[in-house]
Structure 1
Amino acid sequence: MTETHAHRHATETGAVPAAEFWETFYSERDQIWSGKPNDLLVREASDLPPGTVLDLGCAEGGDAVWLAERGWKVTGVDVSTTALARAAQLAAERGVTDAITFERHDLATSFPEGRFDLVSAQYFHSPVEQAGEREQALRQAAAAVAPGGVLLVVGHFGWPTWMAEPKHDYHFPTTDEVLASLRLDDRWVVELQDVVHRPSTSPEGVEGTRSDNVLRVRLTA
């Protein structure tokens, strides 16, 4: 959902409504992300049988298109109309328009309808989120999982090691904290709690690492 640039941008612009912040964020450049799927989504979803999937914070559509190309019926959700337009364009270029429905939602106030075999929340952080908004959205995400389906939450473990003084104060929740906030009952099984370390390079070329949390839970009935 975000990377370091977004957090830095939030500090520079001050607190603004989520819709305004993300629309400004995407409008500043013709393209923000690579168009490729997130690596940890690929790792966790490649072996899942295709079904229906909800992509929360779909941004410019890299994950949604990758899923559609593998036979999933995708609902992609974002608050930015610019991001959604780019996602739709990418889907058209890759020939998967019929497999994806894009919807605009501010998840603090609305949520897509339906139940899904997979609900994916990749880097579901926002520098302008209000207290409790992320937790509430993820609880709604869990409620949208169909019996037998999976909720996959991937998020940053912390700031990259090359960033000595982060410009934005943000708490990156652990997998235990995310799990506790979901308030799941005994119908759910925790399939994976993981911390993944990967190389990361600053805009100035300083090398380091960044770590990510992965939580995968399944609704058994």
Structure 2
Amino acid sequence: MSDQEMHDHRDGHTPADWNAHYNQSEQIWSGHANAQLIAEAADLSPGRALDVGCGEGADAIWLAHQGWDVTGVEVSDVALERARQQAALAEVSVDWQLGAFPRMPSSDNAFDLTIAFYPALMKNDGQVIAALFRSVAPGGTLLFVHHADVDHGRAKAHGFNPDDFVGVDDVAAAAPEGWTIEAHEERDREILGGAGAHHARDLVLRIRRGS
């Protein structure tokens, strides 16, 4: 999610807000899997995966192509319908769930991989970081990616504070005992278009739960 996208929703994060965002265009995102996902999932054995804030579904669909049993969670029914259509075209099966993470059917200890890329998760929601960790099964991986180059001054000038959102460092600092940080770094961002293409750097956190 870009600083402009977060600004667009500074007055609310309801499903209606996100539907309005997605209705601005027939396609918001690039339609390609995130490069950080491709790099980090390459050495993982397929199992169950959760995509938090799956949007139009490109990452979830890519995981399904790699043999993962994928659940995609999204608050916008407009985005989720696009994801369903793309999955059908790709001839893969994904369990698409409409709703806000973590307010969804229990996912505790359920997933071998949980991904959250540029999520609009509010820090004042005391459940959300703990729920990310709880979603991961023993031996599983949490992959959390956000922008490294958000223009805080520009965002605050528009009445919104990026620091209100859960970031990579927040998740890393909250890691429970028994988890191992395997990557916590800034990287170049490769994107082929779509919203957020103006961001050139990512913060990447890969953290593994002990068996």
Alpha-carbon contact 2:6-2:120 (below 8 Å) kept? no
The structure-2 alpha-carbon separation of the partners of 1:17 and 1:33, relative to structure 1 and needing over 3 Å to count, comes to closer
Tell which deviates more after alignment, 107-116 or 73-82.
107-116
Aligned length: 202
Q: 5+ residue gaps in structure 2?
A: none
Pairing 1:19-168 to 2, within 5 Å after superposition: 19-97=15-93, 100-107=94-101, 109-110=103-104, 112-113=106-107, 115-125=110-120, 129=122, 131-133=123-125, 136-159=127-150, 165-166=154-155, 167=158, 168=160
Greater RCO structure (CA 8 Å; 6+ sep): 2
Alpha-carbon distance in structure 1 between the residues aligned to 2:24 and 2:149? 26
Alpha-carbon distance in structure 1 between the residues aligned to 2:167 and 2:21? 26
Alpha-carbon distance in structure 2 between the residues aligned to 1:73 and 1:27? 29
Q: How much identity, in percent, do the aligned residues show?
A: 34
List per-residue Cα deviations over 1:51-82 (Å, max 9, x = no partner).
11000000000000100001001000000011
Q: 5+ residue gaps in structure 1?
A: none
Cross-structure match for 2:209 = 219
Alpha-carbon distance in structure 2 between the residues aligned to 1:30 and 1:87? 12
| Letter of the structure 2 residue corresponding to residue 3 of structure 1 | S
Alpha-carbon distance in structure 2 between the residues aligned to 1:94 and 1:24? 26
The structure-2 alpha-carbon separation of the partners of 1:92 and 1:158, relative to structure 1 and needing over 3 Å to count, comes to same
Cross-structure match for 1:210 = 200
Q: CA deviation at 1:174?
A: 5.6
TM-score (norm 2): 0.84
Alpha-carbon distance in structure 1 between the residues aligned to 2:170 and 2:61? 30
Alpha-carbon contact 1:125-1:155 (below 8 Å) kept? no
Alpha-carbon distance in structure 2 between the residues aligned to 1:95 and 1:5? 33
Cross-structure match for 1:177 = 170
Tell which deviates more after alignment, 84-93 or 33-42.
33-42
Alpha-carbon contact 1:88-1:102 (below 8 Å) kept? yes
Alpha-carbon contact 1:199-1:209 (below 8 Å) kept? no
Instruction: Flag as ranges the 4+ runs of structure 1 deviating above 6 A.
Output: none
Cross-structure match for 2:8 = 9
The structure-2 alpha-carbon separation of the partners of 1:209 and 1:85, relative to structure 1 and needing over 3 Å to count, comes to closer
C-alpha root-mean-square deviation of aligned residues, in Å? 2.6
Alpha-carbon contact 1:117-1:145 (below 8 Å) kept? yes
Give the 3-state SS of the residue equivalent to 1:165 in structure 2.
helix
Alpha-carbon distance in structure 2 between the residues aligned to 1:57 and 1:112? 16
Alpha-carbon distance in structure 2 between the residues aligned to 1:32 and 1:26? 6
| Letter of the structure 2 residue corresponding to residue 79 of structure 1 | V
Q: CA deviation at 1:96?
A: 0.2
Alpha-carbon distance in structure 2 between the residues aligned to 1:84 and 1:173? 23
